[in-house]
Amino acid sequence: MNTANQYLKAIYLIQQQEDNPAATGRVADMLDVSPASANEMIGKLEDRGLAEHEKYKGVSLTDEGIVRARDALQTYCIIERFLVNVLDVKNFREEARELESVIDGTVAERLDTIIDRKPECPDCFDPEMDACACLDVELEAEPPAD
Amino acid sequence: MSLSQQVSSDRQLARLLQIGIVLEEVVEARAHRHYQSLSDDERVLDPEIEALLSHAADESAEHRKRLEALIEDLSVDSIPFDEIETLVEARYGQTKPEDFDGVLYDQLCNEETAYKFYDDLIEAIEASDAEFSVDREQLLEVLRTLRSEERDGAEEVTKIMEKRE
């Protein structure tokens, strides 16, 4: 997954939580980047027809952006489930974040054949916990990023 | 959630190499299953496919060994792979391809997925300036070899598929 997909995923989750366009500041906070970096990438997403930005309101995904964001979220869920179910990784959220930029959707699909993913994925994703809610582990909220 | 960086530590690299091993394991298990599923008559009729699947299984086993050797040289705790082998084997113990076309198509997906994985991993390592406890050039050389063999494998399957059309 590339950086653009990580932005799409963040915007999608914020929009889901707030039922409104995502404020650029929240996108920057979620991804732990500067507002200037977030603005720059949101501009690129607009150019590619994946998002629309309205001044003072925030950014919304287009239909194509939503499809891409859901694919990205599904890949992320697969990585989390794979780390927990197959490799028994305790810090799976931290590691999933590190891996998502390198694991492509086609690779995730192959990993998916051994992880018993639920059909509701990626709607199972809990943005508060930053984890797939169907995971068979006890989840604790993570401390905010430094 | 935070924006992930490229490969930046031994631990992250080891995890990615482990994923490579699992992918190879999946390829190997599927190729083996498919090979076993061919009846004696079919094997006589189609030595080309038999050779292809047999070669794919051998090559995946070899790739796994090379990835395991890289992980051993990294400063991380290794994870036993017996369980993964059992898991993958159990998963594919039940499945059977429907026909030759299914076997070939599946094999093509395996090779292409592994190629894509190595390609992305190489790109991520090249983009990173992190110091690993294995020699970077040696690491990249191994990964480029694996990528090249996966590309050859995909081409081989494609040729057979085209011949059969």
Nearest chain B residue to A127 by CA distance is B1
Give the confidence band of A29 by pLDDT, cuts at 50, 70, 90.
very high
What does the pLDDT average to over B25-53?
76
What does the pLDDT average to over B29-41?
73
ipTM > 0.95, yes or no: no
Does residue B95 surpass a pLDDT of 60? no
Cα distances (Å, whole numbers) of residue B138 to B60, B71, B118, B132, B133: 20, 13, 15, 11, 11
Domains and CATH numbers, chain B: 10-164 (1.20.1260.10)
Cα distances (Å, whole numbers) of residue B26 to A12, A39, B21, B132, B149: 32, 41, 9, 27, 16
Find, among A67, A81, A68, the residue nearest to A112 by Cα. Answer: A81
Per-residue burial over A47-63, b = 16 or more CB atoms within 10 Å of its CB, e = otherwise: eeebbbbeeeebbbbee
Q: How does strand A125-126 pair with strand A58-61?
A: unpaired
User: pLDDT for A36-66, tens place per residue?
Assistant: 999 999 999 999 999 999 988 899 999 999 9
Interface test with A, best of B4, B60, B82 (most A CBs within 10 A): B4
Q: Alpha-carbon distance A24 to A58, whole Å?
A: 6
Yes or no, beta carbons of A98 and B87 under 8 Å apart: no
Residues near A48 by beta carbon (within 8 Å), at least 6 away in sequence: A4
Q: Which residues, listed in sequence order, are joined to residue A126 by a DSSP beta bridge?
A: A131
| pLDDT for A53 | 93
| pLDDT for A1 | 46
Task: Output A50 or A105, whichever has higher pLDDT.
Answer: A50
Q: Alpha-carbon distance B6 to B10, whole Å?
A: 12
Q: Which residues, listed in sequence order, are joined to residue A22 by a DSSP beta bridge?
A: A59
Average pLDDT, chain B: 83
Yes or no, beta carbons of A99 and B3 under 8 Å apart: no
| pLDDT for A69 | 95
Q: Which chain A residues have a beta carbon less than 8 Å from that of B23?
A: 107, 110-111
Which residue from B3, B12, B79 is facing A87, i.e. has the nearest CB? B79
Name the pTM for this structure: 0.85
| pLDDT for B79 | 62
**Half-sphere exposure of residue B141: CA atoms within 13 angstroms, side-chain side:** 5
Q: Alpha-carbon distance A111 to B63, whole Å?
A: 17
| pLDDT for A129 | 80
**Parts of chain A belonging to CATH 1.10.10.10:** 3-66
Q: Which chain A residues have a beta carbon less than 8 Å from that of B5?
A: 98, 101
| pLDDT for B91 | 67
| Interchain CB contact of B18 with A (< 8 Å) | yes
Residue B124 and residue B19 in contact, taking contact as beta carbons nearer than 8 Å: no
Q: Alpha-carbon distance B125 to B123, whole Å?
A: 6
- Least-confidence region, from A13-27, A124-138, B89-103: B89-103
| Interchain CB contact of B126 with A (< 8 Å) | no
Chain A positions with Cβ closer than 8 Å to B: 3, 6, 10, 30-33, 82, 86-89, 95, 97-104, 106-107, 109-111, 113-114, 130, 145
Rounded to the nearest angstrom, the minimum Cα separation between B57 and chain A is: 17
| pLDDT for B115 | 94
CATH 3.40.50 fits A72-132, yes or no: no
Of the candidate CATH numbers 1.10.3720.10, 1.10.10.10, 1.10.4160.10, 3.40.640.10, the domain formed by A3-66 belongs to 1.10.10.10
**Parts of chain A belonging to CATH 1.10.60:** 72-132
| Interchain CB contact of B110 with A (< 8 Å) | yes
